[in-house]
Amino acid sequence: MQEIVLIGLNHNTAPIELRECIAFSEKDTLGALARLVDIPVIDEVMLLSTCNRVEVLLVSKNQPKAILETKNFLSRFNDLPIQRFDAALYALQGDAAVRHVFRVASSLDSMILGEPQILGQIKSAYQTATQSKTSGVILNRLLHRTFFVAKRVRSETGIGGNAVSISYAAIELGRKIFDSLKDKKILLIGAGEMAELAVEHLIRHKAVEIYVANRTFERGVNLAKKFNGKPIHFEEIFDTLEHVDIIISSTGSADFVIHKKQVKTAMKKRRNSPLFFIDIAVPRDIDPEINRINNSYVYDIDDLKGVIEENLEDRRKEAGKAERIIDEAVIRFREWYKNLDVIPTIVALRSKMEGIAGSELEKTLQTLRHLSEADREAMTRMTQAMINKIMHNPTRLLKSDSPHINKSVYLDFARRLFKLDE
Amino acid sequence: MDSLLFTVIILYILSTAGYLAFLFRQKERLNQAGFFLLFCGFILHTITILYGASLVGHLPVHNLSETLSIAGWAIAGLFALFQFKYNLKVLGVYAAPLSALITVAAALLSTEPVHADKILESYWLIFHIITIFLGDAAFALACGLGIIYLVQERTIKNKKHGFFFKRLPSLQLIDSTGYACVVVGFTMLTIGLFAGFIYAKTVWGRFWSWDPKEVWSGITWLLYAALLHGRASLGWRGRKAAIMAIIGFIVLMFTFFGVNFLLKGHHGVFTQL
C-alpha cells in the first residue's frame, strides 16, 4: 500500500550552517526531482527548500527503503556524509506527514509564527514538481487540500493578524493614532535599515512629504533621493517639528537629538496636532519624557519589541484554533485516501452498478406484469451476469500487482468516472 | 403603552448584548445585529412616544418617567445617525446600554400620563424640549467618546496594548467624532434655549427669570462654548477635549437631575416623580 512520506529538516532541528549545506536552489531542484523520481521505490515526489527548511515529500509503497534512499540521495547530491545531518532529519509517514504539510503551509511551523511567505514557497515548489511531472494523484490531492487548509486557517484564525516586525508594528501604531496615514508628513533622522523600511511602509500607506535629516548633509541628500524626499540640515529639525506628523529617528548620537522643551514649543505652534515619534536608535534619540506631553507619543525600540511580543502571544493563542482546523482536515484527507484503496473502490463500483441495475429492473418489471415468476428470475439473473461481466476486467486490473501501472491513477480515474466519491 | 415600552427595553438590552459580544468577539455580524436591534428599538420607541402623545394630546414630558423616555429615545436616534456617518462601531457599547438604562428607569418610574395645564400646549415648548433633548443626547455621546478616547490614549501611552488597543478605533477618529457630537449638541442646545426664551416670553412675559434650571443651562452652554472656542482658536484637542466633554456632561446631568431635586423652580414639573 502506498503511503505519504516526508523527510526533512528545519530551523528547529538544524542550525543555519547545516541548512545552508543542504539547501537546493531553484535550478538544483529540477535536477534533484528528476533523480529522486528515478529511484524505483519513489512513485511521486516534491521538494521544498527555503532558508528555514528542506523537505522531501514523496509517495512510496516501501517506506523504509524510500526513506533510506532519500537520505542517500541528500548525502550524494550535497556531497555530505549522512552522519553529518542524520540527527537533524525527521521522517514522517501517513497522517503524521499529512499533518506536517498542513502545519507548515499554515505557518504553524514557521520561525515567525503566522508569517505568510511559506504558502507561496510551497505553491512554487509544487508547481516545479508538476512541471517536472514528478507529482501524481496523491500529491496533487494532498497539495490542493493543503492550499485549501492554509487559506482556511488564515481567514478563520488571527494567526496572521497584528504586526510582528518592528516597522510593521510602527505602522500599526501610527494607524491607531492618525487613523489613516494618507497625506501624513514624515521626518527621517539618521539612517538605517529598519528606519528606511518603516519609511517605505509609510510611503506605501500614501504618506506624502518625506524630510530627511542627516549629520552629513550629502548622505541625507542621497537618502532623500531614494524616497523622493527633501533633505534638511540637522539644525533644521527643530523647525520641521512644526510641520511633520511622524518622526523616525535612527542616529548614532550619544545624546538625545530631540528634547522635551523643543516638542513643547512645537506643540503650541502646531496647535496640538498629534506627533508620533519612532525611536529606533540605541542609545535613544528621543527624550522618553516627550511621551508625557499631550498628543505626542514616543515609542522606542524596546516598546516596539514589547508590542511585537504581545502580538506574537496573540498569534500563539490563535494557533490552537488552527490546529483544530488541521485535525479536521487530516481526518478528511485520510478518508479520501482510504477510499483510494483497491477493495473499497471495487465494492463501491459494484454497489453502484447493482443500484442502477436494480432500479431499472424494477421499473421494467412493473410494466411487464404478464411475466411469470420464472421469467422474472431469469431477467434478474441476466442483469446480475451483466454486472459480473462488466466488472470482470476493471476488478482484475485494479487488483493486479504489476509494477508498470500506477495504481493510484487507475483508482482515482475509476472513482471519478463513476462518481464514487459522492 | 407599558407593553410597548417594555418591548423597546428588550430591544435595547438585546442590542447591548450584541454590541458587548461584538466587543469581545469582533465579528462584524454581531455589530450589525446590535445596530439592527437598536434601530428597531428606536423606531418602536418613536411609535411609543407618538402614541402616548396622541392619548394625552401633547408631548408626554410632564414627569421624570416621560422625560427620561425622551432622553433614551434621543440617544438611540442620535447614535444611529452618527453610526451612519462615522461608523464608529464601538460606541454602541456605550450608547445601547445607556439608552436601555434610561428607558428602564423611565419604565420603573412610570405613572399615569398627566393632562397638564394649558400653558404647556405650545409648539415653542415642543420645539424647545425636542432640541434640548437631542442636544443632551449628543453631549452624552460626546462624553462616551471622551471616555473611549482616554482609554485608548492610556493604552497607547502606557505601551501595554492588551484588550482595548485592537478593539478601539484610532485616537483621531474618536476625537473628531467627539468634536462632531459637541458641535451638534451645542447647536441643538443653542436653538433649544432660544425656543425656551421665546416660550417663556409668551407665557411669563419675560425671556429670562433666573430659574435655577435656566441658570445651570446657561452655565452648561458657556462650558461647551468654551470647549468649542478652545478647540477652534487654541487647538484644544485630544485629551483636553475629551476631559472637557466628560465634565460638560456631568454639569449637564446636574442641570437635568440635580437642579430639580435640590433647587426649586418652574422646570420642576418636568422631573417630578
- Helix and strand numbers, DSSP H then E, in chain A: 16, 10
| Contact (CB, 8 A) for B75 and B22 | no
- Residue B271 has a pLDDT of 47
**Cα separation, B79 vs B42, whole angstroms:** 10
Last residue of a domain, one of B64, B96, B116: B116
From B170, B235, B239, residue closest to A177, measured CB to CB:
B170
- Tell me, yes or no, whether B151 and B245 share the same domain: yes
B272 within a domain of the structure (yes/no): no
pLDDT at A248 over 70: yes
**Cα separation, B87 vs B164, whole angstroms:** 18
Ordered strands of the A3-10 beta sheet: A44-49, A53-60, A3-10, A90-93
Catalytic residue among A1, A16, A34, A51: A51
Average pLDDT over residues B236-254: 91
Task: Specify the number of domains making up chain B.
Answer: 2
- Tell me, yes or no, whether B169 and B90 share the same domain: no
Average pLDDT over residues B103-109: 84
Interface test with A, best of B88, B154, B159, B234 (most A CBs within 10 A): B159
Average pLDDT over residues A5-28: 91
- Tell me, yes or no, whether B81 and B101 share the same domain: yes
Task: Give me A205's grid cell.
Answer: 500607506
- Residue B130 has a pLDDT of 86
pLDDT at B45 over 50: yes
Average pLDDT over residues B9-26: 91
**ipTM value:** 0.83
Whether the ω angle into residue A283 lies within 30 degrees of 0, i.e. cis, is yes
- Tell me, yes or no, whether B90 and B148 share the same domain: no
B273 within a domain of the structure (yes/no): no
- Tell me, yes or no, whether B66 and B134 share the same domain: no
What residues in B contact A179, CB-CB < 8 Å?
169-173
CA angle A142, A314, A278 (to 5 degrees): 120
- Chain A positions contacting chain B at CB under 8 Å are 162, 173, 175-179, 270-274, 291-292, 294-295, 297, 299, 303, 306-307, 310
- Domain of residue B137 covers 120-267
- Residue B207 has a pLDDT of 82
* Residues A291, B236: C-beta atoms closer than 8 Å: no
pLDDT tens-place string over residues A192-223: 888 888 888 888 888 888 999 998 898 889 98
Q: Which of A4, A6, A33, A10 is nearest to A85 (CA)?
A: A10
Q: DSSP for A297-358, please give it.
A: EEEEHHHHHHHHHHHHHHHHHHHHHHHHHHHHHHHHHHHHHHHTSHHHHHHHHHHHHHHHHH
Active site residue A51: yes
Q: Which of A263, A210, A257, A220 is nearest to A241 (CA)?
A: A263
* Residues A271, B240: C-beta atoms closer than 8 Å: no
- Residue A20 has a pLDDT of 87
Cα-atom radius of gyration of chain A, to the nearest Å?
Answer: 32
Last residue of a domain, one of B92, B116, B140: B116
Helix (H) or strand (E) segment spanning residue A247: strand A246-250
- Residue B121 has a pLDDT of 62
The CATH classification number of A166-308 equals 3.40.50.720
* Residues B235, A272: C-beta atoms closer than 8 Å: yes
- Residue A44 has a pLDDT of 93
Mind telling me how many Å the CA of B53 is from chain A's nearest CA? Answer: 44
Superfamily of domain A3-156: Glutamyl-tRNA reductase, N-terminal domain (3.30.460.30)
What residues in A contact B160, CB-CB < 8 Å?
306, 310
Average pLDDT over residues B27-56: 90
Among chain B residues, CA nearest to A293: B157
- Residue B111 has a pLDDT of 67
- Tell me, yes or no, whether B112 and B242 share the same domain: no
Q: Which of A209, A262, A270 is nearest to A238 (CA)?
A: A262
| Contact (CB, 8 A) for A9 and A89 | yes
Last residue of a domain, one of B116, B148, B164: B116
Band of pLDDT at residue B273, cut at 50, 70 and 90:
very low
**Cα separation, A129 vs A140, whole angstroms:** 10
What residues in A contact B170, CB-CB < 8 Å?
175-179
* Residues A178, B170: C-beta atoms closer than 8 Å: yes
What residues in B contact A273, CB-CB < 8 Å?
235, 237
* Residues B156, A178: C-beta atoms closer than 8 Å: no
Domain range list for chain A: 3-156, 166-308, 341-417
From B161, B235, B238, residue closest to A310, measured CB to CB:
B161
| Contact (CB, 8 A) for B148 and B173 | no
| Contact (CB, 8 A) for A316 and A164 | no
From A292, A295, A303, residue closest to B159, measured CB to CB:
A303
Q: Looking at residue A252, what DSSP letter applies? A: -
What residues in B contact A177, CB-CB < 8 Å?
156, 170-172
- Tell me, yes or no, whether B95 and B143 share the same domain: no
pTM across the whole model: 0.75
- Tell me, yes or no, whether B111 and B124 share the same domain: no
CA angle A338, A343, A349 (to 5 degrees): 100
